Each structure stands twice: as structure tokens, then as C-alpha cells.
Amino acid sequence: MTFSSSSKPIHNSEAGLQKLTGLVERVTFHSEESGYCVIKIKVKGERELATVVGHTPAVSPGEFVSCSGDWIYNREYGRQFQSVFLNVYPPATKQGIEKYLGSGMVKGIGPTYASRLVKQFGEKVFDIIEQNPERLKEVEGIGPKRFKAIVSGWADQKIIRNIMIFLHSHKVSTAKSVRIFKKYGENAVSIITQNPYILAKDIKGIGFRSADTIALNMGIPKDSILRARAGISYVLSEASSNLGHACLPKDELIKMANELLEMPEQTICDAIEKEIEENSLVSDDHPESECLYLPSLFYSEVGIASSIRRLNQSCVNWPNIDPDKAIAWVEKKLNINLAESQKEAAGKALNSKLMVITGGPGVGKTTLVNSILRILSAKKVKIILCAPTGRAAKRMSETTGCEAKTIHRLLEVSPETGKFQRNREKPLDCDLLVIDECSMVDLSLANSLLQAVPDHASVIFVGDVNQLPSVGPGTFLSDLIECGQITVIKLTEVFRQAADSWIIRAAHQINKGYFPPLPQKGQKGDFYFIAKETPEEIVSTIVSLVQLRLPRTFGFDPIKDIQVLCPMNRSLTGARSMNELLQSALNPSSDNAITKFGITFDLNDKVMQIENNYDKDVFNGDIGFINGIDKEEETVLVTFDGRDVIYSFDELDELVLCYATTIHKSQGSEYPVVIIPISTQQFMMLKRNLVYTGVTRGKKLVVVVGQKKALFMAIKDNRSLKRWSGLKMRLEK
């Protein structure tokens, strides 16, 4: 056996993975939920026990294991064998059998009965349990109840092992095999045999390509209609999640599926017809083309349009208010002077069932909303405030002085099902719903929220339509504005106090397509551009700014106050690379550090949640700080806005470092200081709305570092990728 003192795995050049076999002496840790385990095994010819880490639904002392993986060196625990495939077999020796049966693995058998069974039947005990279980009653103390428990427990173990053997034979790793078993239980083999592509829909970590590999290993023909149908769903899902499309034109879908599947076009067309026939796809006529939807997105569009029509059919649910008197009253109450555009908007809001308020930074959206809220609150109107993210909701609470919730919390998401408990049957209790940061709201979330609005209630949608569209599918806010069925207030006047901010002036100039004004030498400002030509210079400048220059000059906390926002994840100036460099500079690795899913986490690291977790009540985009790592319990404690959340090591794929993040991920958030790297390396992402969104995230200081040419390119390119959607068409109807 060869051990490595390096932290990098040593690969067997012949097989790609090293092999290790041995008898399980001790189970140090095993998670029933995830299958993650740490076991000590006795390897033939070795004096010391070897530590193996991996995944398996069940493992007990006395069993025999066969592993494929790599040796690694863990600074805390020393040498470990990290297994990719971990097969567990019943023991063959009397000693091993007794240890196995006595471990509690089989219900009804403990150490005492394990000893009696081995004494009675010797090495044939497993054959007796499986083939002639009635003979178990020959053992003293085994009555009908214990007999039934033993037979049932043995059957459960056999099912688990058969499933694992089946999945391993089709090159499914043990970790994924455990997830599959947890999802399908004893029916796993039959379900996968009928349609292996179902794994791509149901199992986290298995996409279409992985499911396709499994299917081809199982002998499913490359040109089968089953494969074509799965590929079509995958193309639509990717178009939705990566490009924001709610649907695709039929011709475009066929072309993309053909590139993915490399199969005859007729087979793809037949598969599309079959998907439509079985309601797995929806076909709908658009002005430009026949388009195809995944059902959930089609019914989201239909649901939104239906809700808008329903809400527009009645008048506001509060007594008539004289706008002139109300506006004069609120100006005095808040000690403000509203602009004429704001007064007009407030007057309309007091008599509108549905209204959109849009505009850039410094145009008075917050003042307008506060004025409306203060007037209606005085009339005892029931008001609810919400926003798509925790940070946006918190900021809304701070600016209005009223409680604001995330949309998920407002709709009372169920941790068990992920479904919302507030809906058409159980609507929200309000007369007015105000939704902030609506540019972030995608079709599915918008539909769920509007379904929960009671018929009598009014809705005010607030957002900046010039920002990036939602990460999820659709262009909800712009469709509302352009459909012509809703009152729209576009605020454009930048107020004098706001105009003193270089950030706000820069944002408005960028939005108009002009290079932003910059403070001259000797001038103080809050928006700066530092010209650097190479990616290496850009990166080193940003690290210096975060680590030294900005904290020394302005007193900012380098981790809590400063956020680097990148146009993309990839490249040297992308979020992934920047995170590693900034982590190394700001929070060098300590003995507490752990590496999971390719990321090293340590105490005090800034992290971001990248998917909704209803059990933990944390959502995509939430930012927290690591305040505890327990290697013995294999847990990490992360604090989000004063609330502690515990993750097992196996759940750390839900977190990424957040010293740097993408501009897309920053939507709805504000930071004291924003630094934006920009270079022609990122040319695919350089669009005006991207830079505009990044700049408007900064409250006190924004610094753009990079090539002037790249910034010019971004500002001049106002072409945003067309998102295929039918919502505007449905709203117009």
C-alpha cells in the first residue's frame, strides 16, 4: 500500500483509480441521510487500520469492502482513502459474521443473538436466513416477533445491496447511488431500467449527460425516441435556466436538440409530437413562430395574465382619497417637497389597482413609495411589503420603516414540499401589496405571488427596468410595462442631492450610452476608473485595493464592506479565480480549513448560498460568514444576518465563496463598496445593462478596474439577448 504525503490525489495511471479492499473494523461516522461515511478497515498485510471515506447507504463492522478511489492527506486526520466507488459485502469468516450481525445492522439481532446464530449455524448463517429462515427458530430466544424482525431486516439489506451492485455496474458513483436509493427506495432498479433519463429530472448532481451515459451503458440505442424525448426536455430546461427563455421556437428547438443528440431530425420531430401528446410539452402559436414550452412555464405565463385580468376587474379597496389634500398632508408629515412627477404618480397610485413604478438611481422611487405608504397607512389600509431576496427585503424595511419579507417567506413556503401555502385558496390578507426589485422576479415566482393576491387588493410593482433581467426565465417587469394594461410611472428626474453622487451620474450616463464622468485629479468622488491593460494587472490591482488601499484610505472592512462584482465566473478576472486570490489575501488557510466540492472553506470566510433551501430557510443569493467548523461532527456553522444555520459537510455544495460574485448574483443587493473588473476577456458578457447593474449596487464607493476599451464596448452594446416569452402577448389580450 502506497501513501502520499501530498494533499493532491495520486492516480493509478492504468485504471485511473486505485483499489483498496479490507474488513471493516470500525464505523467512525455514517450519515443515514446522505450516506457519507468514515470507516476503519483492516487491509491484508498492513499493521495499521486504513481510514476510508465515501458514501454507502449502510455499512457495519465485520463487512468486507472493496473501494476505488485515491489516497489523500488530510491535515487534521492524516492519510485517508477517498473512495469514488464503495462496495460492501457480507463477511465470510465466523469472527466477521458475528461482528457484522452483532452491530445492529439487521433488526432483531444484537451481540447476544449474533453469537448464538454463529454458534448454531457457523459460516452458513447467511444461507439459513435467506433460504431456510424457519430454522432460525431453532436458536434459543428467537420467537415469532424476533423471527419476523430478522427476516424483514435481512430483506431490506438485500434490496439495498442489489440496488448498489446494479448502479455500480452502470458506472454510477456511490454518492449518486445513495441519492438514487433515497429517492426511489426498493423500486430503484425497475424505475431506472424503464427510463434512466428520469434521473436527470429527479436526482441532484445527475444531469442529462450523466443519465445519457447510464442509459447507453444499459444498452438503450443512441437513436431511440426515449433518448430524443429526454434530450428535448434537457434543451428546454437549459434554455430556461441558462438563457432565460420561457419557450423556444420549434425550429430552434429541433436545431439545438440535433446538435446535442446527433440523431435524425425526424426522430426528434416524432419525439416532440410524443411529448406534446403526453402533455410533457406545450405547443403555442406566437406572432413569429410556433413555440414549445415546458408545461410549468406555459402555465406560469397563463396564470400571470389571468391574475392581472382578475385584479384589474375591480376598484381599490379603500375610501376615495383626494390626491391634492393627501399629497400636501404627506409632504408636511415627512418634511419633503415632492416633484411634480412624484405628485402625479402618487395621485395615480391612490386610485390604481395595478401600477408599475420604474426608474434609475436617485430619481425618487423610495420617496414616492414612502409617501404612498404613509398616506394609505393613515387610512388604515392593510399593506404588505416584499422583495425577491433577503437583502432586498431588509433594505426595503430600512427605507420604509415597515416590515418587508422575502416573497418565499411571505408565501409561506413548505420546507417538506417546497410548495407555497399561500395561494388562490388561501390568499394573503392585504389591501395593497408592494413588490420591490421586480426586475429580479421570474415567471414562476411572479405567478405564485399573484395567485395569492386577493381579488380586492391593489399591487404596486417597483423596479429598475434597465437592470439585468431575472436570473430565472422571462422578462416579467418589462412585459408589465410594455403590455399597455397597467398604469406605468417612469421617473427620470435625478434630484439635486442625488446628482452630487458620481455613482448616480455615472449610472445615468452609462444608461444613455455615454462614458461616465470621472473625478479629476484632486477631486473627491465616489466613482473611479483605474486603467489596467492585462488581466494580471487588473487582478493584482483589485487584491491590493481590497486588502490594503481602501481599508487604509477610507476605513472600510475588507471582507464585510467591499464586494467584488465580476461580469462572469470564468477567466482570470472572473468570480471563481478572484475568490481564490482574495481568500488567500484576506483569510489565509488555517488548521480549521476543509476542502469540499473543490472549494476550501475556513473560519471567517464570506460565503453565498446558491440554491433555495427551504428546510434551512436560506435562499439563493443570501450572504453569510462561517463562524464554526466541527470536523468531528462534520458540520459548518454559517451566520446569515445574525441567524445561525448548520450545514453538514455533504451539503457544502450549496455554498460558494463570496469575496467576489457575479453581477447577476448581486441583483437586489447593495454594498458599501463595489469593485468591478472589466476586460475584453469577458467580451461575451459585456453589455450596457450588465455594467449599469453592477455600478448601481454600490452605495458609498464604486471602482471599475480594467481596460477603457472594454468599458466602452460594454456601454455601447445595448443589445440584450432576446428572451423568448409569450407573457406580453397574453397580457395584451
Cell numbers 464607493 correspond to: 701
C-alpha cell at 699: 452605495
Let me know whether 146 and 266 are in one domain.
no
Task: Considering only residues 460 and 203, tell me which one the structure prediction assigns the higher pLDDT.
Answer: 460
**364 labeled part of a ligand binding site:** yes
pLDDT tens per residue across span 567-576: 888 888 889 8
Q: Is 132 exposed, middle or buried (0-12, 13-18, 19+ CB in 10 A)?
A: exposed
Let me know whether 553 and 408 are in one domain.
no
Let me know whether 581 and 683 are in one domain.
yes
**363 labeled part of a ligand binding site:** yes
Cα 74 from Cα 71, distance rounded (Å):
10
The residues that bridge with 645 in the sheet, in sequence order, are 638
Measure CA 687 to chain center.
Answer: 24
Scored b (16 or more CB within 10 A) or e, 673-708 reads bbbbbbbebbeebbbbbbbbbbbbbbbebbbbbbbe
**365 labeled part of a ligand binding site:** yes
For the cut 80, the answer to whether the pLDDT of residue 102 exceeds it is: no
| Identity of the residue numbered 454 | P
Number of domains in the chain: 4
Cα 545 from Cα 563, distance rounded (Å):
11
Element spanning 326, H or E:
helix 323-334
Let me know whether 284 and 381 are in one domain.
no
C-alpha dihedral over 417, 421, 424, 429, to 10 degrees?
Answer: -160
Q: The domain that contains 331 carries what CATH number?
A: 3.40.50.300
Average pLDDT over residues 31-45: 82
What pLDDT sits at residue 275? Answer: 93
The answer to whether 293 touches 302, Cβ cutoff 8 Å, is no
Task: Considering only residues 169 and 181, tell me which one the structure prediction assigns the higher pLDDT.
Answer: 181
What pLDDT sits at residue 370? Answer: 92
- Around Cβ 645, how many Cβ atoms within 10 Å? 17
In a domain, 193, yes or no: no
Element spanning 704, H or E:
strand 698-706
Cα 233 from Cα 256, distance rounded (Å):
11
Let me know whether 592 and 540 are in one domain.
yes
Let me know whether 661 and 710 are in one domain.
yes
In a domain, 664, yes or no: yes
Task: Considering only residues 8 and 331, tell me which one the structure prediction assigns the higher pLDDT.
Answer: 331
Element spanning 413, H or E:
none
Let me know whether 474 and 568 are in one domain.
no
Cell numbers 399593506 correspond to: 383
Question: What is the number of helices (H) and of strands (E) in the chain?
Answer: 27, 26
In a 3-state reduction of DSSP, which class is residue 606? strand
Where residue 118 falls (left for φ over 0; alpha for ψ -120 to 50; beta otherwise) is alpha
Q: Report residue 175's pLDDT band, with 50, 70 and 90 as the boundaries.
A: low
Let me know whether 567 and 588 are in one domain.
yes
Average pLDDT over residues 599-617: 87
In a domain, 171, yes or no: no
In a domain, 526, yes or no: yes
Q: Residue 27: CB partners within 8 Å, gap ≥ 6?
A: 37, 38, 39, 40, 59, 60, 61, 103
Which among 412, 463, 397, 458 is positioned nearest to 431, based on CA atoms?
A: 458
**Last residue in a domain, options 141, 163, 185:** 163
**401 labeled part of a ligand binding site:** no
What pLDDT sits at residue 380? Answer: 92
What pLDDT sits at residue 622? Answer: 86
What pLDDT sits at residue 377? Answer: 92
Measure CA 358 to chain center.
Answer: 28
pLDDT tens per residue across span 466-493: 888 888 899 999 999 999 889 999 988 7
What pLDDT sits at residue 33? Answer: 67
For the cut 60, the answer to whether the pLDDT of residue 1 exceeds it is: no
Alpha helices in 379-438 (DSSP H): 390-400, 407-410
Task: Considering only residues 20 and 90, tell me which one the structure prediction assigns the higher pLDDT.
Answer: 20
For the cut 80, the answer to whether the pLDDT of residue 22 exceeds it is: yes
The residues that bridge with 529 in the sheet, in sequence order, are 704
Considering the chain, what is the average pLDDT of its residues? 86
Q: Report residue 497's pLDDT band, with 50, 70 and 90 as the boundaries.
A: low
C-alpha dihedral over 639, 645, 648, 651, to 10 degrees?
Answer: -90
From residue 715, alpha-carbon distances to 346, 361, 377, 529 in Å are: 33, 17, 42, 14
Query: For the whole model, what pTM was predicted?
Result: 0.74
What pLDDT sits at residue 112? Answer: 85
Q: Report residue 496's pLDDT band, with 50, 70 and 90 as the boundaries.
A: low
What pLDDT sits at residue 103? Answer: 67
For the cut 70, the answer to whether the pLDDT of residue 104 exceeds it is: no
The answer to whether 500 touches 732, Cβ cutoff 8 Å, is no
What pLDDT sits at residue 9? Answer: 34
Let me know whether 534 and 623 are in one domain.
yes
Half-sphere exposure of 463 (CA within 13 A, CB side): 33
C-alpha cell at 733: 389580450
Domain that holds residue 439: 299-497
Out of 176-185, 218-227, 608-617, least confident range: 176-185
Share of the chain above pLDDT 70, in %: 95
What pLDDT sits at residue 111? Answer: 82
Let me know whether 556 and 686 are in one domain.
yes
pLDDT tens per residue across span 307-334: 999 999 988 888 888 999 999 999 899 8
If DSSP states are collapsed to H, E and C, what string results for 539-550?
HHHHHHHHHHHH
| Identity of the residue numbered 15 | A
**Last residue in a domain, options 435, 464, 497:** 497
In a domain, 428, yes or no: yes
Residue 201 has φ and ψ, to the nearest 5°, of -85, -35
* Top-confidence range, 157-166, 170-179, 253-262: 253-262
Q: Report residue 448's pLDDT band, with 50, 70 and 90 as the boundaries.
A: very high
In a domain, 6, yes or no: no
For the cut 70, the answer to whether the pLDDT of residue 499 exceeds it is: no
Residue 187 per-residue DSSP state: G
Q: Is 389 exposed, middle or buried (0-12, 13-18, 19+ CB in 10 A)?
A: buried
**Last residue in a domain, options 267, 293, 319:** 293
Angle in degrees, CA 676, 680, 681, rounded to 5 = 85
Task: Considering only residues 411 and 175, tell me which one the structure prediction assigns the higher pLDDT.
Answer: 411
Q: Report residue 14's pLDDT band, with 50, 70 and 90 as the boundaries.
A: very low
Cell numbers 427620470 correspond to: 492
The residues that bridge with 51 in the sheet, in sequence order, are 40
What pLDDT sits at residue 3? Answer: 29
Q: The domain that contains 281 carries what CATH number?
A: 1.10.10.2220
Across the beta sheet with 643-648, the strand order is 643-648, 635-640, 623-630, 606-609, 655-657
In a domain, 389, yes or no: yes
Q: Report residue 682's pLDDT band, with 50, 70 and 90 as the boundaries.
A: confident
For the cut 80, the answer to whether the pLDDT of residue 12 exceeds it is: no
**333 labeled part of a ligand binding site:** no
C-alpha cell at 675: 469593485
Let me know whether 472 and 564 are in one domain.
no
What pLDDT sits at residue 37? Answer: 87
C-alpha cell at 158: 438485500
Q: The domain that contains 150 carries what CATH number?
A: 2.40.50.140
From residue 15, alpha-carbon distances to 2, 10, 68 in Å are: 16, 12, 10
In a domain, 732, yes or no: no
Let me know whether 80 and 48 are in one domain.
yes
